[in-house]
Amino acid sequence: MIQRTLVLVKPDGVSRHLVGEIIKRFEQRGIKIIGLKMLKSDSKKAAVHYNEEIEKRYGRDVRNRLIEYINEGPIVALALEGIDCVNVARKICGSTYPNEAAIGTIRGDFAHMSKDYANQNLKNVKNLVHASGNLEEAKTEIKIWFKEDELYSYDVDHDKYV
């Protein structure tokens, strides 16, 4: 099934000059970029993205740190489209916690902080990217970061092989 998903390159991914490498990994797997922009998040938009559900699951402290983290600098928002795109994008990104991410994934290759270290030092886990967790989340998150007229449908050579 053709799906859409959201990936955010977080401020550490931008400041470490990894945007091109991250985009390349999705495109190499036949995932189409249908929306792309660099922006500076604000607390209001970040609070919608990291909603009350995050607070219920992980606590207010973690939610506040996530909001702070995504507001540290510019981010790059990617709206992606492809076959089983939500799951494929998450596999490309790797485990949320970099020290648990497999080599060959974005986080496994470029991030290094563990959640234990982050929690002990009251830091954010710098994990470079966010990827929507499921199809419903993807639909909601794309609407947070993109207007409908910022998403583009087009044909790519890969489509004729699918």
The string of DSSP codes covering 113-159 is: --HHHHHHTT-----SEEE-SSHHHHHHHHHHH--GGG------GGG
Is 130 catalytic? The answer is yes
Judge whether 159 lies within some domain: no
Structural domain boundaries enclosing 51: 2-146
pLDDT digits (tens, 9 = 90+) for 112-148: 888 888 888 878 889 999 999 999 999 999 999 999 9
The pLDDT value recorded for residue 11 is: 97
Residue of 17, 112, 130, 158 marked catalytic: 130
CB 80 within 8 A of CB 86: no
160 assigned to some structural domain: no
Residues of the chain above pLDDT 70, percent: 99
When comparing pLDDT for 95 and 113, which is higher? 95
- The answer to the question of residue 30 being in a domain is yes
Task: Please indicate, yes or no, if residue 128 is contained in any of the structural domains.
Answer: yes
Is the pLDDT confidence value at 80 over 80? yes
pLDDT of residue 124: 84
Mean of the per-residue pLDDT values of the chain: 94
Give pTM, 2 decimals. Answer: 0.93
Query: Is residue 156 one of the residues assigned to a domain?
Result: no
Domain for residue 101, yes or no?
Answer: yes
- Tell me, yes or no, whether 158 lies in a domain: no
161 assigned to some structural domain: no
**What is the total count of domains within the chain?**
1
